[in-house]
Structure 1
Amino acid sequence: MLPAEREHLIITFLKTNKKATIHDLAIEFKVHEATIRRDLNKLEQFNQIKRTHGGVVLNDSEVWDELNFDDRESSYYYEKLAIGHQAAEFVENGDTLFIDSGSTTIHFARALTQKNNLTIITNDIHIASILKSTSNQVIVTGGILYKDNYLLNGMITNDTLKLFNPSKLFLATPALDLEKGVTHFNETLTSTKIQMVNQAKQIYVLTDSSKLDKVSLYNVCPTHRIDTLITDHTNHKINWTSYETKLNHLVTVDTNICH
């Protein structure tokens, strides 16, 4: 089989299976893992795939799914770390916060451990466990536990969120587009994010730049409702001038300080 033919079949495989490891692909195409790595290197050069910790996914403008939390946390790790630390600069002692569940907001929660007199409402048990030893008040929403992602969701979660009117929401997302705004691929998870948006006074979106210029099926929040987007500037395909023009406030972080 020619390399070009195998590369095409790898893309087809990923469209069907969403993600794969190098080992999976080597078995599927009956070649050595070194051969698969060369194929992936070429596909990555043309922005057709995205490498993750131990695997690979399609690099697509439409988001239909995402990896489990552990894989997402290791992907773009330093970008997410820097975003989390920068976001903490927007929190003042005495603030009331919604913190959405996510692999970027987990770093934000870690950066809040030095803050005081906060009231934090979250639907993420991992975030709650990080903040439990601080002097801040932590409220967990309750709801159905999604075990692979540490998040709580569903009717109980949404009913709890309706009880609060926090000053700030720190929102995670798998997709953000200047025209479509914040979107999500899962209808059930979308409802909780929408409820957070409806209740909060200010909205901060925390996401690495690989999620920009991406659209998913369900609308969460229009662009004009975003008070501040905090991201990294490592994605060279992004038209940053458009983001600066259309957003209320854009903050891009320096990831070098985290290495």
Structure 2
Amino acid sequence: MLASERQRLICEKLQRDGQVLVSELAVEFHVSDETIRRDINALNDANRLRKVHGGAIPVKDNHPEPSYKVRAVTNRDTKRKLGVYAASLIQDNDSVVFGAGVTTDEILSAIRNVSNVTLLITSVSALTTLLQKQLDGHFTGQIIFLGGQIDPEYSCAMGTMTNQLLETFSVDKCFISATSISCEGVHLYNLDDGIFCETAIRRSAQVYILGESSKFGKKTLYKICDLDAVHHLITDGDIPLTLSMKKALSQAGIQLHVVE
């Protein structure tokens, strides 16, 4: 098992159990205590957990993300603009998974004139929208709701059950709305959402990240991936990218889509 896969499973176990112990993880993964300590050190350095004596506990987020309702009215026109553009990239016969978020909900609201698509979602609000759009003939295909525990603040399903359902699929594309984007990678606020998006990235042939230009150059709680895991980045041109950010995107081979 690769270290990255083991570390992902450690994060999922931490999410589920509230703590992890080095000795128990070593037995579970059939590796040495020292290997697990290296994993925990790496995750601690990435701010994905907090190392304690004998194991690790979750990172406490002192700056929680605003609720869905608050985010829905923040930069609303820009979110809608990015969503409409992203929706135009969905083609007939595509299978697509969507991370939770206001911007990704805007993609789903803008889907039209595509046939035989498979749309995998966790957003509660988007589910009603998609059902009506399908009945109105805006697209044909199937909607798959990746169920689990519903988080009322994020208006979506998330957690271990949701992630396990996603693991059973391989899709053409994923669309993820980032909280922040730095030269080090793509970041989200929420651990549960982060683990889901990590899974989506692994299960997708093409990875699309959406982020308003105001989100560049910042880091938030949970890094979901390095830049080289991303194929496409969709943003607006309101705030120019720094030279260091442009260089990082270019070195990662990311196709940049600037929506004016």
Q: Do the two structures share a fold, i.e. TM-score over 0.5? A: yes
- The answer to whether structure 1 residue 210 and structure 2 residue 209 are counterparts is no
Query: Where in structure 2 are the equivalents of 1:144-223 lying within 5 Å?
Result: 144-178=149-183, 180-223=184-227
Q: CA RMSD in A?
A: 2.0
Cα separation, 2, equivalents of 1:217 and 1:69: 18
* Matched letter for residue 94 of structure 1: N
- How far 1:64 moved relative to its partner? 3.7
Aligned equivalents of 2:141, 2:112: Cα separation in 1? 9
In structure 1, C-alpha distance between the alignment counterparts of 2:84 and 2:193, rounded to whole Å:
25
Q: Encode CA deviations 1:187-227: one digit per residue, 9 max, x unaligned.
A: 22211111111111110001211211111232201101111
Q: Where do 5+ consecutive residues of structure 1 fail to align?
A: 1-61, 255-259
Range that drifts further, 153-162 or 204-213: 204-213
Task: Report 1:43-192 matches (<5 A).
Answer: 64-133=63-132, 134=134, 135-178=140-183, 180-192=184-196
Letter in 2 for 1:221: C
**Separation in 2, partners of 1:205, 1:149:** 19
State the TM-score, normalized to the length of structure 1: 0.69
1:229 aligns with 2:228: no
SS in 2 for 1:116: strand
Aligned length: 192
CA contact (8 A) 1:205 1:229 kept: yes
Q: Is the 1:207–1:230 Cα contact (8 Å) retained in structure 2?
A: yes
Q: Counterparts of 1:147 and 1:92 in 2: how far apart (Å)?
A: 32
Match of 1:253 in 2: 259
Report the Cα distance in structure 2 between the residues aligned to 1:155 and 1:98, rounded to whole angstroms. 17
Deviation at 1:114, TM superposition (A): 3.1
Query: Counterparts of 1:63 and 1:173 in 2: how far apart (Å)?
Result: 19
Deviation at 1:244, TM superposition (A): 5.4
AA in 1 matched with 2:66: L
State the distance in 2 between where 1:113 and 1:192 align: 26
* AA partner of residue 112 (structure 1): I
Runs of 5+ in structure 2 lacking a partner?
1-60, 135-139
Residue-by-residue CA offset, 1:40-61 (whole Å, 9 max, x unaligned): xxxxxxxxxxxxxxxxxxxxxx
Q: In the superposition, relative to structure 1, how do residues 243 and 89 fare at CA in structure 2: closer, same or farther (>3 Å)?
A: farther
User: How many Å apart are 1:63 and its aligned residue?
Assistant: 9.6
State the shift of 1:241 in Å.
3.8
Q: Secondary structure at the match of 2:112?
A: helix
The 1:137/1:219 distance shift into structure 2, 3 A limit, reads same
TM-score (norm 2): 0.69
Identity in percent? 23
Partner of 1:193: helix, strand, or coil?
A: helix
